[in-house]
Amino acid sequence: LSANNESRGALVVFEGLDRSGKTSQCGRLVSYLEGLGHSVELWRFPDRTTSVGQMISAYLTNKSQLDDHTIHLLFSANRWEKRSMMETKLKAGTTLIVDRYSYSGVAFSTAKGLDFEWCKAPEIGLIAPDLVVYLDITPEKAAERGGYGGERYEQLEFQRKVAQHYKLLKDSSWKIVDACQPLDDVEKQVKEIVSQHIIACQKGKILSSLWS
Ligand code: 2DT
C-alpha cells in the first residue's frame, strides 16, 4: 500500500446503527492510513459546522421541530454542499473516510415511514462510495453498549426499524463486518478491506454517482 498522489483517493463510507462503533473504527483507520503516509481525511455527516448542519443539530438535540420531509432534505443538502469539495479532494489523491452518508439518510427517514424512492431521489448525483463498510450489530447488542445519549432516534424500537431499512440498501459496494467482535478484530478486518479498495482506486477505478 503506497502513497501515490497521482492517482485518486478512495471514498470509503461507514454505516451502521448508533453504537455500532463507526466513530471509533473511522478514527483508528485514519490513524493507520496516515501512518502509512497516505493523504487521508476523516469526514462525517451530518457535518454540523455549516449553517444547514446547525439546523440539523438543533433538530437532533430536540431544540427544534421539523417536518420529516424537511429534515430529510436538509440532511441531503448537507451532503450536496460538500459534494464539490469531496470531488476535488478525491481527484487530488486524498482518501476520505466518511462516518455516515446517504444510506443513513434513507434508512432513518424510511424508518419514520417516508417513501423509499422519494427518500433516494435527492441523493441522486452525489458521489458513489467506492466502499461501504457496514458495521453489523443487532439493535439489542448496540443498546447494551453503554446506552444511548439523549438525541432523537437513539431508542431501541426506532433502531430496530432502521436496521431493517438499511438491509434494503445493501448493494455490491457493501462489505458487512460483524461489529459484535472485539474492537481489535473489527479493526483488523476493516484495515484489510479498505487497503484493497484504496489500491483499486489508485489503479484507476472510475468515480461514479449515486444511485446507479
Ligand atoms: P451522529 O450521531 O452520527 O452524528 O448521527 N441521520 C444521519 C439521518 O437521519 N439522516 C442522515 O442523512 C444522516 C447522515 C443518524 C446523527 C443522527 O442523524 C441521523 C443519527
Please give the distance, rounded to the nearest whole angstrom, from the Cα atom of residue 77 to the centre of ligand 1.
13
pLDDT of residue 178: 98
Domain ranges of the chain: 11-202
Q: What is the ipTM of this complex?
A: 0.98
User: Is residue 194 helix, strand or coil?
Assistant: helix
What whole-number distance in Å separates Cα of residue 183 and Cα of residue 186?
A: 5
Please give the distance, rounded to the nearest whole angstrom, from the Cα atom of residue 3 to the centre of ligand 1.
32
Amino acid symbol at 172: S
Q: How are beta strands 131-136 and 40-44 bridged, if at all?
A: unpaired
Please give the distance, rounded to the nearest whole angstrom, from the Cα atom of residue 1 to the centre of ligand 1.
32
Q: What is the pTM of this model?
A: 0.96
Grade residue 5 by pLDDT with cuts at 50, 70 and 90.
very low
**Of 157, 20, 38, which Cα lies nearest the Cα of 92?**
38
What whole-number distance in Å separates Cα of residue 18 and Cα of residue 143?
A: 8
Structural contact between residues 59 and 53, judged by C-beta atoms closer than 8 angstroms: no
Q: Which three cell numbers stand for residue 110?
A: 424510511
Measured over the CA atoms of residue 43, residue 26, residue 59 and residue 125, the dihedral's sign is positive
User: Which helix H or strand E contains 183, and what residues bound it?
Assistant: helix 183-202
Residue percentage of the chain with pLDDT more than 70: 97
- Pocket lining for ligand 1, CB < 6 angstroms: 45-46, 60, 75, 100, 104-105, 108, 153
Long-range contacts of 203-208 (CB under 8 A, 24+ apart): 203/7, 204/7, 205/130, 207/8, 207/11, 207/87, 207/90, 207/91, 207/127, 207/128, 208/127, 208/128
Please give the distance, rounded to the nearest whole angstrom, from the Cα atom of residue 60 to the centre of ligand 1.
8
Please give the distance, rounded to the nearest whole angstrom, from the Cα atom of residue 107 to the centre of ligand 1.
10
Please give the distance, rounded to the nearest whole angstrom, from the Cα atom of residue 204 to the centre of ligand 1.
31
For a mutational test of ligand 1's pocket, the pick from 104, 114, 126, i.e. the residue with the most ligand atoms closer than 8 A to its C-beta, is 104
User: Is residue 161 helix, strand or coil?
Assistant: helix
Query: Out of 1.50.40.10, 1.20.140.10, 3.40.50.150, 3.40.50.300, which CATH number does the structure's domain 11-202 have?
Result: 3.40.50.300
pLDDT digits (tens, 9 = 90+) for 164-183: 999 999 999 999 999 999 99
The torsion angles phi and psi of 44, rounded to 5 degrees, stand at -150, 150
For a mutational test of ligand 1's pocket, the pick from 101, 108, 114, 161, i.e. the residue with the most ligand atoms closer than 8 A to its C-beta, is 108
Q: Please tell me the total number of residues recorded for the chain in this structure.
A: 212
Protein residue whose Cα sits closest to atom 15 of ligand 1: 104
Please give the distance, rounded to the nearest whole angstrom, from the Cα atom of residue 192 to the centre of ligand 1.
26
Protein residue whose Cα sits closest to atom 16 of ligand 1: 46
Residue 22 Cα: closest atom of ligand 1:
3
pLDDT digits (tens, 9 = 90+) for 87-137: 999 999 999 999 999 999 999 999 999 999 999 999 999 999 999 999 999
Residue 75 Cα: closest atom of ligand 1:
12
The strands making up 11-16's β-sheet, listed across from edge to edge, are 40-44, 95-99, 11-16, 131-136, 174-178
What whole-number distance in Å separates Cα of residue 78 and Cα of residue 111?
A: 20
Tell me the C-alpha to C-alpha distance, in Å, between residue 136 and each of 14, 88, 168. 11, 31, 14
pLDDT of residue 6: 65
